[in-house]
Amino acid sequence: SIRLSPPARSLFDQPLAIAVQGLGPRQQVTLRTSLRDETGELFQASARYQAGDDGELDLARCPALPGGSFSGLEPMGLLWALQPQKPFWRLVKRDVQSPFLLQLEVFEGHGERHGRLLAQAQHERAFLRDGVRRVPVREGRIRATLF
């Protein structure tokens, strides 16, 4: 299973702790994140890991192995390494009132073709805290947005 902290929703600039529980001792897995921007374009990142002797994988303590989107100890690597499937596309947020929906998946093994899906989770990355309103301002020649 995938354990996220915060569990279901976080602000876009807030750290997200990712851990996987229930793996075999020193089991090799590939983690993949993906999200779609507002135009539907797919962004993905993946990293190869090896679980600890206890079958747990905590991205804050386990370095990513070479062969994925990044390597080394990068607890947030699966988020900052997201790349578009379409060349030269950028991840841009136009409507800050709706969150990005992040998909996380854990696959068995390290091959180019992913092995069996072991676990998956979804997480919302929001741009506004609960209770914050977006108010357009139009006064004479002034155009602004008040949050």
Q: Set out the domains of the chain in order of their start, with CATH numbers.
A: 2-146 (2.60.40.2240)
Provide the pairing of β-strand 9-11 with 117-126.
parallel
Cα dist from 3 to 18, 21, 67, 91, whole Å: 6, 7, 24, 25
DSSP code, position 35: E
- Computed over every residue of the chain, the mean pLDDT equals 95
Residues in Cβ contact with 24 at an 8 Å cutoff, skipping those fewer than 6 apart: 51, 55
**Average of pLDDT values for 76-95?**
93
pLDDT band at residue 128 under the 50/70/90 scheme? very high
pTM over 0.75: yes
Q: Is residue 31 scored above 90 in pLDDT?
A: yes
d(CA 68, CA 90): 20
pLDDT tens-place string over residues 48-61: 999 999 999 999 99
